[in-house]
A = this chain, B = another copy of it.
Amino acid sequence: MRYRLDIEYDGTPFVGWQRQELPHTVQQVLEEALRICLRSEITIFGSGRTDTGVHALGQVAHFDYDEELDTYRVRESLNALVRPYPVSIHALERVSDDFHARFSACQRTYLYKIQNTRFPPALDKNRVWWYVHPLDVQAMQEAANLLIGRHDFSTFRSSQCQAKSPVKTLDSITVRREGELILIEVRARSFLHHQVRNMVGSLVMVGNGRWTVADFRRAFEACDRQQGGQTAPAAGLYFVSVAY
């Protein structure tokens, strides 16, 4: 029987989602809680990895278990077990056997938060990219529009990326100001490694006036990571939701 988890976490104390030799990944914390709760070694499959320091509002994962679970009680028990960590299981439900958190996903949504103020963040420390220089949101949106659709995203691809192809389809990208914050929301079926953070880093080059939209287009069309802007910090990135 297959079960689906909907998970929120503060990425600050974790070395990302995926289990590895280093301690404190979100996956390890959840698998350890499941092991204690179900007295069984469980492997969970996330819809996507998140890097060190990246947050999730709606990460999705699945796992298999032989028996029918009282999902309400198991969720309560898991939340009690993960309590030392900033992790919360919003939902646990039985799903059909052909559901796969990663491969069934048809769209993923990420949000990137920039705090655009002279003063640093206090309550939002580790939850935003603090960017001091004024940013032109309209110019950023204009550049962002060039990214929509099916393209070679090599300019925004980490050298560590394991994807077979640099070609992806970006469904949407919006840049808007909300008080002191600039919010960049992107949607696609899937993303290359660091794609969102690298796109944001280059959009900021347009926002601060160092690049024109034409410069941004040239960098994008060069299909060369060397032509792109910096990688925006992990702290500003939120994995918002997955659509199936």
Contact = CB atoms under 8 A, between A and B. Distances in A.
A122 B9 CA distance: 5
Nearest to A76: B118
Contacts of A91: 119
Size category, A interface = 20 to 34
Interface string A109-144: 000000001111111010100000000000000000
A127 B119 contact: no
A88 B127 contact: no
A52 interface: no
A87 interface: yes
B119 A88 contact: yes
B89 A123 contact: no
Interface in A8-25: 8-10
Contact of A119 (B75, B121, B122): B75
A209 interface: no
